[in-house]
Amino acid sequence: MSRIIIYDTTLRDGSQTEGVSYTVADKLKITDKLDELGVHYIEGGWPGSNPKDKEYFERMKSHKLKNAKLVAFGSTRRSGIKPKQDTNLNELIASQTPTVTIFGKSWDLHVKDVIKTTLDENLRMIEESVAFLKKHKREVFYDAEHFFDGYKRNPRYALKTILAAQKARADCIVLCDTNGGALPEEVTKIVKEVKKKIKTSLGIHTHNDQDLAVANSLAAIHAGCTQVQGTFNGLGERCGNADLCTIMAILHTKMNKKSITPNKIKYLMDASYYISEVSNYTLSNNHPFVGHSAFAHKGGVHIDAMLKNPMAYEHVDPEVVGNHRRLLTSELAGKMPIVLKAQKMNIALDKNSPQAKEIMKELQDKEYRGYQFEGADASFELFMKRRLKLYQPFFYLDGFKVYTEKKLDGSVSAGATVRLRVDGHDEMATIEGHGPVEVLDKALRSALCKFYPNLEHMHLSDYKVRVLDTKDGTAARVRVLIESQDEGDSWTTVGVHENIIEASWEALVDGIEYKLLKDKK
């Protein structure tokens, strides 16, 4: 089984995602998670570009990794100076990482129009920069930026650029689809042509502007690349980078190629959600392999087939990547999800029993009123436990009050007071903030954290409202779906009411109770 080197650039390319900004502490947390997973290389950032990355590398000097090698990223020297005079290259040496990656120009358009130098000087910049870093005993990866665009327009010159890196003894030459505009057949063809002329091992770095980053990466691997670069969850500028979660899962389950050790693949979902949590970036439910809906089945015919043979509608065993099968509950699914959920609670419930029929009728009544349990698995589990009398609430509500105030200066604020009974104690919390749901959530958790400190590690990651009866106007019922998240998981709860605050409260309470319930298991 051939081995593919996994090179993660979440901390640099991933940080360029719109809306994502890592603190140094965030970067250290993600570094530890990637190292724990067994990723081979972790690109920590560009120490010559900003004070935050410089501080990160300083702290990493005393922060030892168990599995991964830390990489500092930068560029070739500037035009017209010697490598030893280049601040960027000296910062790479000062970072003291065992491996450095530098990028240079492969496309003659960039040489002439962007860095505005000659084609020959660009070749010298590449060769001298790699040689300088090798002289300082570093493992050096050379990222051939815009390589596929450059090769398609001027293959002779693009090839010269990577031959310059090879001459300087680069340890790996990484072919980059920086604009994300290549097609898999182009990638395959070009990698095979390059491989005939380059002795140095090749890597692949793709962007997702055509939704082809994973496909292009796998095409390159199939054509002979042995290193693949990407980010977790496909984070990255514009449309993102190649998603390492998907790539590693496919390498392991489909291509018979080893990447991280096989016993670590089962932690892919855990790592994916952890990094999305630290990134404050919501992972889509239908994300391949690691999303909550990746192995979710809703149609009754599908569910019936799955019970007979899981291979009928699943291309891999979800547990291989740390996920699990879910049979969604709705009026389309019949009684089997109810029976199976009861079995997980050690309750023998026959689908033809009166109890199953009663639960199904209640479920259909609730869905008729607007509840949507296929998108709120946490609320459904709580519904089942309550209906089967297997659930003891963690707290009781005495009452809550929420207000919103707009002042003469145009500013808007909100406040909430929540009164609860917890373990025989009366507890009250008052919070002020920006919005009514925000303050209600914070007041609820503030009142409970003294009793349940683990609630500090959860937060709301998504909030959706849908008007159910548009003909009723402002008096219409609304359905609120709330996604909550902690460091290792996310779950969705639902509430329905004519009053949006009450619907939100119902979903908030379910979210809290589900968190407490799963932590208690």
Same domain, 196 and 325: no
Same domain, 417 and 338: no
* pLDDT reported for residue 257: 92
Tokens matching residue 225? 């690349």
In-domain check, residue 285:
no
d(CA 464, CA 496): 12
State the number of CA atoms in the 13 A half-sphere of 25 facing the CB: 1
Same domain, 25 and 131: yes
Same domain, 333 and 187: no
Tokens matching residue 476? 């219409």
3 state DSSP class of 295: coil
Same domain, 98 and 243: yes
In-domain check, residue 74:
yes
Check: CB of residue 55 under 8 Å from CB of residue 27. no
Same domain, 343 and 406: no
Burial class (CB in 10 A: 0-12, 13-18, 19+), 439: buried
Q: What is the domain-level CATH number for residue 344?
A: 4.10.430.20
494: β partners: 481
Q: What is the domain-level CATH number for residue 460?
A: 3.30.160.270
CA-closest candidate to residue 327, choices 348, 305, 357, 359? 305
Which residues are CB-neighbours of 132 under 8 A, at least 6 positions away? 77, 83, 84, 89
3 state DSSP class of 297: strand
Tokens matching residue 411? 């500013």
- Domain count of the fold of the chain: 3
Give one word for 506, left, alpha or beta, with left for phi > 0 and alpha for psi -120 to 50.
Answer: alpha
Same domain, 404 and 459: yes
Same domain, 69 and 166: yes
- pTM metric for this prediction: 0.71
d(CA 232, CA 251): 15
* pLDDT reported for residue 229: 98
In-domain check, residue 165:
yes
Q: 501: domain range?
A: 396-520
**Residue ranges of the chain with per-residue pLDDT less than 70:** 1, 298-307, 309-310, 313, 326-348, 351, 374-375, 470-475, 521
Only one residue has tokens 């530890």, namely 32
* Boundary (domain end) residue, out of 279, 307, 334: 279
Q: What is the domain-level CATH number for residue 42?
A: 3.20.20.70
Same domain, 342 and 425: no
In-domain check, residue 12:
yes
Same domain, 75 and 115: yes
**Whole-number CA gyration radius for the chain:** 27
In-domain check, residue 129:
yes
